[in-house]
Amino acid sequence: MKMILAVLATLPAALLMLPANGNAQTPPKASILTIAGRPGEAPLLHIDGKSYVEIETLALLTQGSLSFKTNRTILTLPPSQAEAPEAAPPVKQGFSAAFIQAGIEEMSLIREWRIAIVNAVESNSPVSVEWVAGRQRLADKNLALTSAAASTDDDRSAYPLLTAEFGNMQKLSEAYLAMRQRAAFISPDTFNNSSLEEQVLSCARGFVAMAESHEFQDQPACR
């Protein structure tokens, strides 16, 4: 916002001239000018019943700046609060609802995938390569949705755990398919006490616990 001031007498009355009430009355010998919402004060000069303030002092008082152009004096005022840029919103803490929903869906897909592999081993009822590939695509697609839903620091901290869980489930699935290729029969206790299978299960439990507490907690089992 700019104010062009040709001469002192033409400055806006609200800033530079405080006239007496109607009839000429002698103002107090000493008075000051303050502007609401601005720190500081400026002395007023009283001449012929009118009050004046020095333009340099006014610029300091309003935190403005002065510039001069031929016979013009230009006072530039800083932007008002309404014109000032809005402060960035504070970063949200905890998990967002969208991330938790997508994360739980991802863990559910991985859980169904794991149970199918384990049941196939224990019951000697093979699952096909096509079924495994379809389950992997679903989990991979949902993992991308989970990444897109991350909007808080906790969301972004938890996302790598979901990625690691997906990777570990892939390893478990690939190990099963490799064994199925090598032999027509797989011992039902093949995955009993399997460190990888236990890691996938523990990571899922840890994520559920985080979802219930609504805040990030590191889960070593997901690494």
133 plus 216 within the same structural domain: yes
215 plus 110 within the same structural domain: yes
Between CA 153 and CA 157 the distance in angstroms is 6
pLDDT at 11: 42
Which structural domain range is residue 64 located in?
Answer: 2-76
205 plus 134 within the same structural domain: yes
Between CA 179 and CA 185 the distance in angstroms is 9
Cβ neighbours around 149 below 10 Å, total: 18
187 plus 137 within the same structural domain: yes
pLDDT at 85: 59
Q: Is 83 domain-assigned? A: no
Amino acid 95 reads F
61 plus 133 within the same structural domain: no
155 plus 68 within the same structural domain: no
Q: Is 26 domain-assigned? A: yes
At residue 115, φ and ψ (nearest 5 deg) are -65, -40
Number of domains in the chain: 2
Phi and psi based region of residue 49 (left: phi greater than 0; alpha: psi -120 to 50; beta: remaining): left
Which of 43, 76, 109 corresponds to the end of one domain?
76
The position carrying tokens 């803490």 is 93
Which of 76, 110, 126 corresponds to the end of one domain?
76
The position carrying tokens 């001031």 is 5
Q: How would you write the pLDDT of the chain (223 residues) with one tens digit per residue?
A: 444 333 333 344 434 444 444 444 554 555 877 777 677 777 777 777 787 777 777 777 777 787 877 888 777 877 765 555 566 665 557 899 999 999 999 999 999 999 999 888 888 888 889 999 999 999 999 999 999 999 999 999 999 999 999 999 999 999 888 888 887 667 777 776 678 888 888 898 888 888 888 888 888 888 7
- 60 neighbors 43 (Cβ within 8 angstroms): no
> What DSSP string runs through 127-138?
PPHHHHHHHHHH
68 plus 123 within the same structural domain: no
- Closest by Cα among 211, 222, 212 to 100: 211
202 plus 101 within the same structural domain: yes
Q: Is 88 domain-assigned? A: no
- 15 neighbors 73 (Cβ within 8 angstroms): no
Which of 76, 107, 135 corresponds to the end of one domain?
76
Q: Which two tokens stand for residue 79?
A: 């932007």
The position carrying tokens 């985080």 is 210
Q: Is 187 domain-assigned? A: yes
pTM equals 0.56
